[in-house]
Amino acid sequence: MFKKIVINAAIVLMIVATLSGCGNNNVKNDKANEQNAEKITIQLNSSQSANSVAGQSAVRIKELIEQELGTDRVEVEFFPDGQLGKDTTILEGMALGSYDALIVGTPVTNVDSKFGIFDLPYLMSNEDDVKALIYGEVGDILTESIAEKGYINTGYLFSGFRQITNNIRPIVEPEDLNGIKIRVASSPSKEKLFRLMGANPTPLGFDELFSAMQQGVVDGQENPLYVLTVNSFKDAQKYVSISNHCPTIYAVLFSEKVWDTYPEDVQQAILKAVQTASEESFAISDALDQSVLDEIKGQVEINEINLEAFENVASELYTNAELVEPIGQDFVDKALEAVGKNK
């Protein structure tokens, strides 16, 4: 009788222990599900204005992600105009996981010099050339390269070809740039190009540019046309020379440390949204360029350049070891091949 009681008691204890274990597992699963279901907030940064191509594309990315996943699951907060800091500051913070994401142009070369391929003048002559690079092997190589440095490149945005504006005279021939103080983004190839043409290239932050033009610190600048209206540069410049010397291409980067915390479906939704925004950025840029040209007629003098003369000067850069070496000669050759051009 005593043995039977002991056995029965042991069975009861085993059952209780089993049920308790199941309860603990259920609690753990519930906690895991709660964590997976926690609302994710993505902070997307840009130094560009909300009305720029990059800004409009950022709003589109936000819209697409929130439509697919719902704002109760994921919310994208867009911070234009460098509200949370300069691009270089954001990039440094992203490496530590302090910032989520950034739409970035030339400053990305401070992290990965291969991205300097986009700044080589007259490498890309039209939008088809741009697409051949960003949607082809060149774009893939850049994505792989920057991943080694702790950044996830989710795609590219096209923001139009860059034009030259100034207050001194119309620029038709390369020598017309002689002595002109022209602001350039911090890019070795752009600095070298304008120096070869006799200009005085001045690297300067975009947020400092308007006041620098007003105060005569610089005479001119090179940027997509939209800055003339969106950033009111037409109020500080007299001449617009259609040079199309290189495109403005932005990478939509995420901090790898932050990216790895996102569930797979969130990652896929981001990639899908950026791809759609990338494809749409070409039409946005074209429409914005045309509207700017319509608006500035009569307010500034617009002229075409001697394209052949500019291309001849630019061709010297492709044999400049100091300029090409950081990008990689093999990589430059691959890009030239992708757009059907020889060195």
Q: What is the pLDDT of residue 190?
A: 86
Strand, coil or helix: 83: coil
Q: What is the pLDDT of residue 15?
A: 39
Instruction: Say what the pTM is.
Output: 0.86
pLDDT in tens, 39-79: 999 999 999 999 999 999 999 999 999 999 999 999 999 99
Q: What is the pLDDT of residue 125?
A: 94
**Residue 78: enclosing H or E segment and its boundaries?**
strand 74-79
Confidence of residue 319 (pLDDT cuts 50, 70, 90): confident
pLDDT in tens, 203-219: 988 889 999 999 999 99
Q: Are 132 and 338 in contact (CB under 8 A)?
A: yes
Q: Which two tokens stand for residue 237?
A: 């410049």
Share above pLDDT 90 across residues of the chain, in percent, rounded to a whole number: 80
Residue 194 has pLDDT above 80, yes or no: yes
The number of angstroms, rounded, from the C-alpha of 222 to the middle of its chain's C-alpha atoms is: 18
Q: How confident is the model over 78-101, as a mean pLDDT?
A: 96
- The single residue listed with the structure tokens 């479906």 is 265
Q: How confident is the model over 158-182, as a mean pLDDT?
A: 97
Q: What is the pLDDT of residue 24?
A: 46
Give 141-169 as a 3 state SS string: HHHHHHHCCCEEEEEEEEEEEEEEEECCC
Confidence of residue 139 (pLDDT cuts 50, 70, 90): very high
pLDDT in tens, 229-270: 999 999 999 999 999 999 999 999 999 999 999 999 999 999
Fold of 39-338: D-Maltodextrin-Binding Protein; domain 2 (3.40.190)
Q: How confident is the model over 292-316, as a mean pLDDT?
A: 95
Q: Which of 188, 192, 174, 180 is nearest to 217 (CA)?
A: 180
Q: How confident is the model over 276-289, as a mean pLDDT?
A: 97
Q: Could you say which DSSP state residue 312 is in?
A: H
Continuous H helices in 180-328: 188-196, 206-214, 227-230, 256-259, 264-296, 307-315, 321-327
Q: What is the pLDDT of residue 181?
A: 97
Q: Which of 291, 23, 313 is nearest to 189 (CA)?
A: 313
Q: What is the pLDDT of residue 34?
A: 43
Strand, coil or helix: 256: helix
Q: What is the pLDDT of residue 74?
A: 98
Q: What is the pLDDT of residue 329?
A: 94
Q: Which two tokens stand for residue 314?
A: 């630019």
pLDDT in tens, 115-138: 999 999 999 999 999 999 999 999
Residue 32 has pLDDT above 90, yes or no: no
Confidence of residue 27 (pLDDT cuts 50, 70, 90): very low
Residue 153 has pLDDT above 80, yes or no: yes
- The single residue listed with the structure tokens 């050759």 is 333
Q: What is the pLDDT of residue 37?
A: 63
Q: What is the pLDDT of residue 272?
A: 98
- State how far the alpha carbon of 156 is from the alpha carbons of 133, 225, 228, 229, in Å: 10, 19, 23, 24
The ranges assigned to domains in the chain are 39-338
> Sign of torsion, CA 113 115 117 121?
negative
